[in-house]
Chain A
Amino acid sequence: MDDSVIQLNNVTKKYGGFKAVNQLSLTINKGEIFGLLGPNGAGKSTTILMLMGLTEPSEGRVQVCGINSTTHPIEVKRKVGYLPEDVGFYDDWSGLDNLIYTARLNGLNPQDAKKKANDLMERVGLSTQKDKKTGKYSKGMRQRLGLADVLIKNPEVIILDEPTTGIDPKGVQELLSLIVELRNEHNITVLFSSHNLHQVQQVCDRVGIFVEGKLLAEGKIEELSKKLFTHGMYLIELGLDTDHKKVPDKEVLQSLLEPLDGIQSVKKEQEHFAIECSSDLSSGIAQAVMNADYKLNYLNKKEYGLDAIYNRYFEGGLSHV
């Protein structure tokens, strides 16, 4: 069964001679949190505008929830909630009044709009601040109100465009947790556009790396890592106590670690061993060397995460779509 919620087929957007988005094809499935990564000017916002039906693609087709965004933008906007980097609210209105207004625009009747707005203010942790004018809200509070604004229409898709910019770390964590909770509770599809790799890695199921209008890579973080770092996703540096027992040869250590599934290479460096493996085997390695009566001096684990993947794509100009 086709479970796709967002579909872009060979989409190109030109501004004059400049291609802001170039032959983009992407599918995002129901209940997925998809991270759209890329530097400023990569074409992320243009892609979002096309998804919302706010601008037309020069070529290709954009569909959200099975609806063509270009020809039926109003229907798409009924199903999609959008939270931009800097949410604008009517500053001389209270948070609750802002929310009631947008609820009414989303088709709710006055009673339902008021009830739902109150419920959502509580859901996003603003119930004590609901009567305060939004002009006096902090950036974090505005983003939380923005999330309530997105949720008021019971969206099937949420598009977040750099939603955490300018928020303090605690606020970021709260916002990210809320996004994951929403996906888990309501199976909402989330498109998370950001250049913050750590946040994307924290919440996204799949990522797409977008540069100069092109999608360079797309997939799960582990899959991308495997593609790029053929010698293993994890590098474990093992240091042994030389006073306790003579450090073994590379071959001896290799035979000690043989029972562990996923060891890809063992190298002896000057002071330590460098072990590359496909999964996190740090505890198994520690156990194996201690069982052989070696004393651990240190064990460092380095994971090739999203930042390494991202840097590799930029450094090498690779294309692995």
Chain B
Amino acid sequence: MKQIWIITKKELKGYFDSLMAYILIVVFLGLSGFFTWLYGSFDVFYINQATMQPFFSVAYWTLFIFIPALTMKQLAEEYKTGTIELLLTKPVSDWQVVTGKFLATFLLIATTLALTLPYYISIASIGPIDHGSVLTGYLGLLLMSAAYISLGIFASSITSNQIVAFLLALIIGVFFQILFGIMSGAFPGTIGDVISYMDMQYHYHSITRGVIDSKNIIYFATIIMAGLMASELSLVKRNIN
């Protein structure tokens, strides 16, 4: 655990040293704040309701784009600069490396989301708000972020080119974000059900509506673990080569 935390701290420092963290926070708060408060046909004043739904919708799509930009360098840069050799010849396992990097990005996203709590406080002050759905909304965003972070790290683990890692993470994300939802309609029966189950929007919206079903939790946990294990496998394979 100690090794994982050392790697996590190093990665977090890297985000703040390269201004990446500041850019993410400022742009995310700016975009989500604009659509929550000011956009016009979408904001809380327009719909005349004390709700965080506009924020959760915007945050969902914004994080979908931002997360690949945060994960693209995680392992790809280590391959490119040769520091992966430095890292893997230390007494740390491949799993600790992958988990440490995952946690760093997850903590950055969690911190960014924590900075949006003033939105919640201010909306709650102007009208009655469903606190339960806000809580599950944040939970949904954290689970969805964790899933995309693990897929992003996997994309970064199979190439030394950061741009390729970014595009690959985005392409994988598009399947979960959009294509599985569309494709499920084209396949009848069990196959359609399986593809429909893969659709992230379905699970995300279930949670943000305030329904925490074990089916949704298992879905996110499976994607997170699969992404991390695939990254570890890719790291092992790369070692061998």
Chain A interface (Cβ < 8 Å from any Cβ of B)? 49, 52, 54-55, 73-75, 77-78, 80, 82, 84, 86-92, 101-102, 104-107, 149, 153
Select from chain A the residue with minimum beta-carbon distance to B97: A105
Chain B interface mostly = helix
Q: What's the Cα separation between A255 and B88 when bound, in Å?
A: 65
Select from chain A the residue with minimum beta-carbon distance to B77: A90
Q: In the complex, which residues of chain B have a beta carbon less than 8 angstroms from the beta carbon of A49?
A: 239-240
B interface residue count range (under 10 / 10 to 19 / 20 to 34 / 35 or more) = 20 to 34
B232 smallest CB distance to A (angstroms) = 14
B80-106 with Cβ < 8 A to chain A: 81-93
What is the total of A-B residue contacts with beta carbons within 8 Å?
Answer: 61
Q: In the complex, which residues of chain A have a beta carbon less than 8 angstroms from the beta carbon of B90?
A: 77, 102, 105-106
Q: Are B86 and A92 in contact (CB under 8 A)?
A: no
Q: What's the Cα separation between A91 and B6 when bound, in Å?
A: 18
A-B contact pairs, 5 of them (CB 8 A): A73-B93, A88-B83, A89-B81, A90-B81, A104-B6
Q: In the complex, which residues of chain A have a beta carbon less than 8 angstroms from the beta carbon of B18?
A: 92
Q: What's the Cα separation between A104 and B86 when bound, in Å?
A: 13
Q: In the complex, which residues of chain B have a beta carbon less than 8 angstroms from the beta carbon of A90?
A: 81, 83
Q: Are A89 and B91 in contact (CB under 8 A)?
A: no
Select from chain A the residue with minimum beta-carbon distance to B17: A92
Q: What's the Cα separation between A153 and B87 when bound, in Å?
A: 14
Is B131 located at the chain interface by the 8 A CB criterion? no
C-beta contact mask, B50-91 vs A, less than 8 Å → 1, else 0? 000000000000000000000000000010011111111111
Q: Are B239 and A55 in contact (CB under 8 A)?
A: yes
Q: Are A88 and B89 in contact (CB under 8 A)?
A: no
Q: In the complex, which residues of chain B have a beta carbon less than 8 angstroms from the beta carbon of A87?
A: 82, 85-86
B1-54 with Cβ < 8 A to chain A: 2-3, 6-7, 10, 17-18
Q: Are A52 and B84 in contact (CB under 8 A)?
A: no
Q: Are B10 and A77 in contact (CB under 8 A)?
A: no
Q: Are A52 and B89 in contact (CB under 8 A)?
A: yes
Select from chain A the residue with minimum beta-carbon distance to B79: A88
Q: In the complex, which residues of chain B have a beta carbon less than 8 angstroms from the beta carbon of A101?
A: 6, 10
A315 smallest CB distance to B (angstroms) = 33
Q: Are B85 and A84 in contact (CB under 8 A)?
A: yes
Q: In the complex, which residues of chain A have a beta carbon less than 8 angstroms from the beta carbon of B89?
A: 52, 54, 77, 80, 82
A203 smallest CB distance to B (angstroms) = 22
Q: Are B3 and A54 in contact (CB under 8 A)?
A: no
Q: In the complex, which residues of chain B have a beta carbon less than 8 angstroms from the beta carbon of A92?
A: 17-18
Q: In the complex, which residues of chain B have a beta carbon less than 8 angstroms from the beta carbon of A78?
A: 91
B6 contacts which of A73, A80, A105 (Cβ < 8 Å)? Answer: A105
Q: What's the Cα separation between A80 and B90 when bound, in Å?
A: 9
Q: In the complex, which residues of chain A have a beta carbon less than 8 angstroms from the beta carbon of B6?
A: 101, 104-105
Of B18, B90, B92, B240, which is in contact with the most chain A CB atoms at under 10 Å from its CB?
B90
Q: Are A105 and B82 in contact (CB under 8 A)?
A: no
Q: What's the Cα separation between A74 and B87 when bound, in Å?
A: 12
Of B3, B17, B86, B92, which is in contact with the most chain A CB atoms at under 10 Å from its CB?
B86
